[in-house]
Structure 1
């Protein structure tokens, strides 16, 4: 089980550091020094809501994918489902961060918040157990 978790951690780190590297190479990090939110207009409301939509959508898909393993007894046997759910969750968040970076770079601060959230989603054995437990209870 430890080897499987290490593999998932490597996937998580690759996705997270990949998007961080792209943000630092393509994004204008110097524009973030003041941490000011750009002026809002009708077209920018979508990009302001995108991080929230991504977080809720990724959690919804993650939990629904975990429910597929409700009949499996052993945690090690459930791990494949967890790995798939995690990769889908990270992909949704990564996609939202890319959309913000490429289509509305003025809102890059919100993309960085998505990346920060992704960092906290690093898989551990305790998180895996808790995630399956939270899905089973409901």
Structure 2
């Protein structure tokens, strides 16, 4: 069980590191607060909100597949799938913000911070999956 959680933490770290590296290389942090939202760029301003809602919906939808009689290993496998799907949506939104609308770098950084906060923690996983240690 601990090995699977460790694997999940490594996957999360790799995703965060990749996005952070991309932001460091491609991002222009000198103009991070020069974001101007007009009618033509309004859609890009909603990308983080859409990613947040979609990722949480997918996460909860995948976790609903867990039944009461499911073993702990199977629960953890489903949780891992749900977490990776959630992180992938947030990561994709970060890259979209960085590549399609670099002026909105601040929104991408906010998504990156959210992705960092989604780091898997053993107590949180056990609580979500109703596993007794």
Q: Same fold (TM over 0.5)?
A: yes
C-alpha displacement of 1:71? 4.0
Q: How many residues align?
A: 130
* Structure 1, unpaired ranges of 5+: 134-138
**Structure 1 residue 101 corresponds to structure 2 residue 98:** yes
What is the aligned partner in structure 2 of residue 15 from structure 1? 15
Q: How does 1:36-47 map to 2 (within 5 A)?
A: 36=34, 38-47=35-44
C-alpha displacement of 1:74? 3.1
TM value normalised by structure 2: 0.91
* Structure 2, unpaired ranges of 5+: none
TM value normalised by structure 1: 0.88
C-alpha displacement of 1:121? 0.5
What is the aligned partner in structure 2 of residue 121 from structure 1? 118
C-alpha displacement of 1:77? 2.4
RMSD of Structure 2 on Structure 1 (CA) = 1.3
**Structure 1 residue 85 corresponds to structure 2 residue 82:** yes
Counterpart Cα distance in 2 of 1:9 and 1:80 = 14
What is the aligned partner in structure 1 of residue 31 from structure 2? 31
- Residue by residue, what CA displacement relative to the aligned partner does 1:72-98 show, whole Å, maximum 9, x if unpaired? 433332111011111100000011111
- Residue by residue, what CA displacement relative to the aligned partner does 1:1-26 show, whole Å, maximum 9, x if unpaired? 11110000000000011100000001
